[in-house]
Structure 1
Amino acid sequence: MKQKELRLAYLFAILNAVIIGFSFLFTKIALEYTHPLDTLTYRFAASFFVMSIPVVFGWVKLRYRDKPLYKALLLAGIYPLGFFMFQSFGLQQATSAEGGIMYAFTPVVTMVFASIFLKEATTLLQKLSIFLSVFGVIFIFILTGSSIDLSNLTGLFLLFLTCITFAGYSVLARSLSKHFNPAELSYFMLAIGFAAFGIVSLVHHGLAGTLDLFFSPLVSITFITSILYLGILSSLVTALTANYVLSKIEASKMSVFTNLSTIVSIAAGSLFLSEKVTMYHLIGSLMIITGVIGANHFGQKKTVE
């Protein structure tokens, strides 16, 4: 692999983490205006229509003939359908901080899945680095005096399922990168997300006679801004970047970058919600960054595919 492609993959992995870090904040904002299903419908409508522009004008070429579309459909079922359903309903019952904590376990689950299904080998130092990154998130959570609200157990369980689905997506997308380019996978995933969430949401409102509630959030600039962020950046851009990264580096290496989103969430809370940043945040952030660097630096030269 060319060094330029590898550097671009790491740059995209960092960008992905930054966008996801802010997504918890914008998801919570959007959920103040409408039902999770409606939020997902608008989110994927925005991402699908924006990506359709270069596709329609022929700037992006898509070729699906003679490719394993049933595997791509399975991928879309896991991510975005499963992942965002669990995330949206989970965040409806839990805090964005709890969402960040549950999401922190994604690299560990991905490492296990990648080892089983992709035969990706990780060194001892790489494993320790991944656990250090996860511990950094837990360290921040515990030492800042946060606690798990037992009444949020359903929400916490749903948020943990986002780890499972994202790990499954990382492994399957890594495998499908041999058949599809990042744009093909991303467009297929966004189309399925838009169609599935849109149909379910409209049927739900149609049966309940509440179609007016579906459109009512559109009068809010705050809601529209949140949806544009979630749809264009947190769905479209992250799909493109994640699929590109997974076509260049191992799933276990890519997944550890997700913990950088915790640092971004802390920064977002400080900047926009006036949340206090303590020494514990800084120490935990240093653990996370060290773990991310170590997980990628100490990887084996060759990965068993």
Structure 2
Amino acid sequence: MERKKQWMIYGMLTFATSTWGSAFIAGKVAIESFDPATISFLRFFGAALLLFPIMWLVEKNTPKPRKKDWVLFALLGLTGVAIYNICFFLASKHAPVIKSSLFIAANPMLIMLLSGLLLKETISKRNVIGLLLAFAGVVTIVTEGNLMIFFRFQFEPIDFVLLGAVITWALYSVIGRVVLRKYSSIVSTTYAVGFGTLFLLPFSLFEKPWQSIATSTLPAWLAIAHMSVFVTVIGFILYYYGIQKIGAAKASIFINVMPVSAVIMATVFLGETLTLTTVIGALFVISGVYVGTAVRRQKEKPISHAKTG
């Protein structure tokens, strides 16, 4: 029964990170009508409108947040919602897609490192091997097998923005693990989205969104609705539930599913070509996720030990 529950959690994490891949497709549609910060604000504002009623309905026995808890919720909103999205969209506009994708692909490694150092989570050799396999798959997909691309990159100021995106999402995952010791995934996600929406508001107002609303299209609004409901509400809750149950380090391995789902959806909905290199990369990712999360039958020596009690 325990093993069945674990596979159910893995399924939830796979679904969550797959929906994040669909955000790339929805973003392409929404960006035709709105500017980046406005898309982010509308996405999370819509999610907040759904999340708060759900939280009030489902989580009736939630402990009252203290001042320290409010600070942590605000940090979640600042890192994983506001700063991450601003950095991500800035990078999307000013950096090559390949470079942006490779930076984001490094995220699970930083999350695993911080989880081991700060949270004292157990990180096994199997976790590390799985993560490296999945990362190799993502690199294969993004570079289309041409590793010489690495040597063509030059340092640019936008790289600091990309680094900011990687660091803030890693902090969101690690801080979230601390918050989840006291609060459920629904409560944690709701308050994080609430604070993040407030932080995004001034950036959206700077873009004068009222001018875009007049010329916006129905597909753009549907794309934002998709990102609010599936990518944010469902995706974020399931991701945090996974972190709560199996830890930030192991849950982060599933982030590698995101580019695979993005490529598959781009092939189906945007008519892009599915290449043999992409298929090989996807197999590496799937293998890495399996190796990194498979239930061990024998105890193996961990790299770092979690504190118990």
TM bucket (normalised to shorter chain) is 0.7 to 0.9
What amino acid maps onto 1:117 in structure 2? L
2:165 paired with 1:162: yes
1:142 matched residue in structure 2: 143
1:277 alignment partner in structure 2? 274
Superposed counterparts of 1:11-50, under 5 Å: 11-50=11-50
The Cα of 1:102 is off from its aligned counterpart by 2.4
CA distance in 2, matches of 1:181, 1:231: 20
1:87 positional shift: 1.3
Q: Name 1:91's counterpart in structure 2.
A: 92
Aligned pairs for 1:1-305 (under 5 A) are 2-3=2-3, 5-55=5-55, 58-61=57-60, 63-67=62-66, 68-94=69-95, 98-145=99-146, 147=149, 153=156, 155=158, 157-202=160-205, 204=206, 210=208, 212-217=210-215, 219-297=216-294, 304-305=306-307
Following the alignment from structure 2 to structure 1, what is the Cα–Cα distance between the partners of residues 266 and 247? Answer: 31
2:104 and 2:270 map into 1 onto residues whose CA distance is: 21
Mapped contact 1:107–1:130 kept (Cα < 8 A): yes
C-alpha contact (below 8 Å) 2:78/2:199 kept by paired residues: no
- Comparing 142-151 and 184-193, the one that deviates more: 142-151
Question: Identity of aligned pairs, percent?
Answer: 19
Gaps of 5+ in 2: none
Displacement of 1:39: 0.9
Q: Distance in 1 between matches of 2:49 and 2:12?
A: 22
Report deviation, 1:234.
Answer: 1.3
The question of whether the paired residues in 2 share the 8 Å contact of 1:62 and 1:184 is answered with no
- 3-state SS of paired residue (1:61): coil
Question: How far off is 1:214 after superposition?
Answer: 4.6
| Contact 1:64 1:184 (C-alpha < 8 Å) held by counterparts | no
Say what the alpha-carbon RMSD is for the aligned residues.
2.7
Q: 1:22 to 1:66 in 2, by over 3 A?
A: closer
- TM-score after normalising by structure 1: 0.87
Q: How many residues align?
A: 298
CA apart distance, 1:59: 4.2
1:148-181 per-position Cα deviation (integer Å, ceiling 9, x unaligned):
7869955554334322222111111112111111
Aligned amino acid, residue 115 of structure 2: A
Distance 1:12 1:186 in 2: 16
Q: Secondary structure at the match of 1:63?
A: coil
Structure 1, unpaired ranges of 5+: none
Matched AA of 1:198: L
